[in-house]
Amino acid sequence: MKPIVIYTKSYCPYCHAAKELLRRKGWTFTEIDVTTDAEGQQEMSRRAGGRTTVPQIFIGDTHVGGCDDLYALEEAGRLDPLMAA
């Protein structure tokens, strides 16, 4: 399994929804809370190609995007293969 990194903010409902999907699948992930971390926010934006919204999700070296992107991959049946590849 590939490592999963998710950048979040504590008050973000989309972050909570994305983490819930990952947990339902039984996958562990590293959460980087950037609620009050300006440097972490800058790192996230750099890694995410300039995106500044949360969550930003990475599976291995692949930038998945945000919560809607994660759920779209799941609905299309492409999330499990991404983890296995």
Kindly report, residue by residue over 27-52, the tens digit of the pLDDT.
999 999 999 999 999 999 999 999 99
Kindly report, residue by residue over 6-23, the tens digit of the pLDDT.
999 999 999 999 999 999
- Which residues, in sequence order, are bridge partners of residue 56? 7
According to the model, what pLDDT value does residue 68 have? 98
Q: Do you know the residue count of the chain?
A: 85
CATH T-level fold of 4-84:
Glutaredoxin (3.40.30)
Give the 3-state secondary structure of residue 70.
Answer: helix
Kindly report, residue by residue over 50-66, the tens digit of the pLDDT.
999 999 999 999 999 99
Radius of gyration of the chain (CA): 12
According to the model, what pLDDT value does residue 85 have? 77
Whether residue 36 contacts residue 61, with contact meaning beta carbons closer than 8 Å, is answered with: no
- Compute the mean pLDDT over every residue in the chain, rounded to the nearest whole number: 97
Provide the residue type at 49 as one letter. G
What is the domain partition of the chain in residue ranges?
4-84
